[in-house]
Amino acid sequence: MHLKRKWETMRHAANVVALLGTSAAGAWAQGGSSKPSTTAKPPAQPGTSDATQPDAAPPTSPTPGGLTGSYQATGNVSLLGKPRPSLGHRLNLSYALPKGSLDSRLEYYVDGSYNADPPGVLRNNINEPKFEAQLMVNRPLNKRLGFTGGLLYHDNFRFPDRYFWAITGLTLGVPIGTNITLSGAALLEKKLGGVRPFYDLSGTLEYRFAPKWNTQLSYHRYENVGQFDPNPTQKAEVEIGLNRTLTAKDAVGFSYFRHVQFDAPNDQFTFLKLKYSRGF
């Protein structure tokens, strides 16, 4: 699995910190992106497939028992090898608790690779359709830091790779002035019945340069343990995106996304992503 998915839950956790923390909520509630941004929006998931997401409707301050959510469709075109267009779908739901939130994610997505070629051969890029389900509890510790913890299920429909992970860690949401937001997460994860715990670090810088426009830069450095991995593998991802709010509930965006596994050239892809998001 590519931890970009979990990335998003973490970004939502940063939104929760901003909304529930204190006066910082005011700065964050001005605009947004699907992850921590200058606007607190519908939930994202700690880590996940898109670091940059278009803004969907910014929710009001959470009321215990309130349910909010978002749907996102993502179209992908490979910039390496054949274009191999694909389409992914993500549903996020967030249930407000007295302090914090219970967040879930269901997602069908597509990654690229050269895993059908022999090791070290980069001849024929392929698509790998995947599914993930995730449930997280997010709780603010103060106006900038938050705690997150939960479970993730992953399944690869192209190759055998099915597993459960336990996830815990800290999230960060820091408004830098009125138009710039820094968010991040430091996670510790463990495959159930697997090897040692492994780390996940991510950060996103967002700049809102107009009332309906923002740009984001995200970096993700992490270890990964799949179904048959004897030891954690080392991976990294970067995403640069531009988003535009269309209505109070709808937004679009596009981004450049690059994924690599170190010392495993077959596990790499570069996508151009086009996204549509709707909050509810």
Residue 35 has pLDDT above 80, yes or no: no
Residue 8 pLDDT: 53
Residue 181 has pLDDT above 60, yes or no: yes
Determine the Cα–Cα distance for residues 162 and 160; give it in Å rounded to an integer. 6
At 227-263, the pLDDT tens digits run 999 999 999 999 999 999 999 999 999 999 999 999 9
Q: Which of 154, 127, 142 is nearest to 229 (CA)?
A: 154
More confident residue, 195 or 53: 195
Determine the Cα–Cα distance for residues 117 and 130; give it in Å rounded to an integer. 19
CATH of the domain at 225: 2.40.160.40
- Within 8 A by CB and 6+ apart from 118, the residues are none
- Within 8 A by CB and 6+ apart from 53, the residues are 8, 33, 34, 35, 44, 72, 241, 243, 253, 275, 277
**Number of C-beta neighbours around residue 188 at 10 A:** 14
Determine the Cα–Cα distance for residues 8 and 153; give it in Å rounded to an integer. 15
Are the C-beta atoms of residues 139 and 104 closer than 8 Å to each other?
Answer: no
**What mean pLDDT is predicted for residues 123-145?**
98
DSSP, residue by residue, 150-173 = EEEEEEESSS--EEEEEEEEEEEE
Residue 177 pLDDT: 87
Residue 62 has pLDDT above 80, yes or no: no
Residue 214 has pLDDT above 80, yes or no: yes
Token pair in block for residue 268? 């790499």
Token pair in block for residue 15? 């939104």
Please state the length of the chain: 280
Domain count, the chain: 1
> Could you list the residue range(s) of the whole structural domain that residue 51 is in?
5-279
At 42-61, the pLDDT tens digits run 333 433 445 555 544 344 44
More confident residue, 178 or 219: 219
- Which band of pLDDT confidence, cut at 50, 70 and 90, is reported for residue 194? confident
pTM: 0.81
* Partner residues linked to 155 by β-bridges: 131, 162
At 77-99, the pLDDT tens digits run 999 999 999 999 999 999 999 99
SS3 175: strand
Determine the Cα–Cα distance for residues 137 and 144; give it in Å rounded to an integer. 17
Residue 272 pLDDT: 99
**Number of C-beta neighbours around residue 263 at 10 A:** 8
Which of 51-55, 65-69, 172-176 ranks highest by mean pLDDT? 172-176
At 246-255, the pLDDT tens digits run 999 999 999 9
Residue-averaged pLDDT of the chain: 84
Residue 46 pLDDT: 39
- Comparing 63-72, 200-209, 227-236, 238-247, which segment has the lowest mean pLDDT? 63-72
Residue 170 has pLDDT above 50, yes or no: yes
**What mean pLDDT is predicted for residues 69-77?**
99
Q: What percent of the chain has pLDDT over 90?
A: 75
24-29: long-range contacts (C-beta < 8 A, 24 or more apart)?
24/143, 24/144, 24/173, 24/175, 25/61, 25/143, 27/175, 27/178, 28/173, 28/175, 28/181, 29/58
